[in-house]
Amino acid sequence: MAQVVDRWHLSRPAEGAKACTQHTSRTKALVPSVDHGKGLRWQVRYRDPDGKQVKENFATKPPAERRAAEIAMEMDKGTYVHPSELRITFREYAEQWRKAQPHRPTTARDVETVLRLYVYPKFGDRQLTSIRKGELQAWLTGLVRVKGLAPRTAIKVKQKVTAVFNAAVHDRLIPASPCAGLKAVEVPHAEVTPLTSAEVHKLAGAMPDRYRVLVILAAGSGLRAGELFGLQVKHIDFLRRTVKVEQQVQRAHPGVVVWPPKTKHSYRTVPVPQRVIDALAAHLKAYPAEQDGFLFAGPVNADHFADTVWRPAVKAAGLPKGTRLHALRHTYASVLIKHGKGPKTVAARLGDTVAVAMAIYAHLFPDEDEGTREAVEEFLQEAA
């Protein structure tokens, strides 16, 4: 129970004892303060959920009584926050949260960069409890429309800030997240443009010999860049014509690290055609590797590869400047869809959920309108 105590009375033994008895008998009572000479006469005393005594001082009695009632209500609802925690800044809490997360190396780097570059300059020194939804919304919109930040990057910023505030809610530092309902500027729809068969072969021909098979393998398996660079000889089954994904390479500081696949769906065995198997066999004949050796010796740092190998090859092949290695993943998906493979199969081969596969590739699936008409027409005809 919170008590309100008159600290002036507490400084006089006889009267203080009487005053204290009077106030402690009240349910949800309040308590006065400590150094009466400094004007903080009234003190609210109570025990927090951990059983530790807490004292809060006030100059006058009404705010002390309001605070005592507030404490009692927060205790009942389970939303109580210790006064010292109310003073924690966004930066202090976000850094505690960030360092405690089991993030992958690239994710950890992204989180640190986003917070340092975009969030801390605006909210870093603000008390966590003082930040309101309205100002978050204005700031987030301004990142795109005033600062010129790419909408896709602004969405990443929103995700990181939301994660911090959600964690603060779970830690009972704030009763609710100010990010609830926060809206980011929409990302313009970008049409997925798969490469043609001729473009794939032209790109492969523009690559250095050591990496020529990478293009054929990527287009023939749909693996992500990190999964391609994480392949070891033991992951290739030449007899069954499959490629097994059970690890990936991620950028770290310094160098790279071998890490588990992106999600549980990313663990998979992908069937590949004989042409891919033959290309892999020829590659290993030219560039031998042990069973536990990486298919592309290194393992490869994707950033360095993009700068020194990929972009020059894209330019030499005459492909659009922004063509990424990921375009070959889109190409693989489009080939499957074109040959009648459904969302479930496409998702399984790509190591994604059906929802993700449909969100990215839905426009590539054939129109089902006519099939729907035929099915219902047949049903009604039978009934007639």
Architecture of domain 90-170: Orthogonal Bundle (1.10)
Question: Measuring CA to CA, which residue among 164, 209, 200, 201 is closest to residue 182?
Answer: 164
pLDDT for 63: 87
> Of 144-153, 357-366, 368-377, which one has max mean pLDDT?
144-153
φ, ψ for residue 243 (rounded to 5)? -125, 125
* Average pLDDT score over the chain: 84
The pLDDT tens digits of the residues spanning 299-331 come to 788 888 999 999 999 999 999 988 999 999 999
Q: In the chain, what percentage of residues exceed pLDDT 90?
A: 52
20, 32, 58, 311, 349 from 17: Cα distances, Å? 5, 13, 20, 82, 77
What's the Rg (C-alpha) of the chain?
Answer: 31
pLDDT for 268: 96
Quick check: 107 pLDDT over 90?
no
φ, ψ for residue 329 (rounded to 5)? -70, -45
Question: Measuring CA to CA, which residue among 182, 144, 183 is closest to residue 165?
Answer: 182
* pTM reported for the whole predicted model: 0.67
pLDDT for 17: 37
Quick check: 37 pLDDT over 50?
no
More confident residue, 229 or 59: 229
Domain boundaries, the chain: 3-80, 90-170, 197-364
Question: Measuring CA to CA, which residue among 268, 264, 270 is closest to residue 242?
Answer: 270
In CATH, which superfamily holds the domain spanning 197-364?
A: Intergrase catalytic core (1.10.443.10)
pLDDT for 184: 87
pLDDT for 227: 95
Quick check: 29 pLDDT over 70?
no
Quick check: 364 pLDDT over 70?
yes
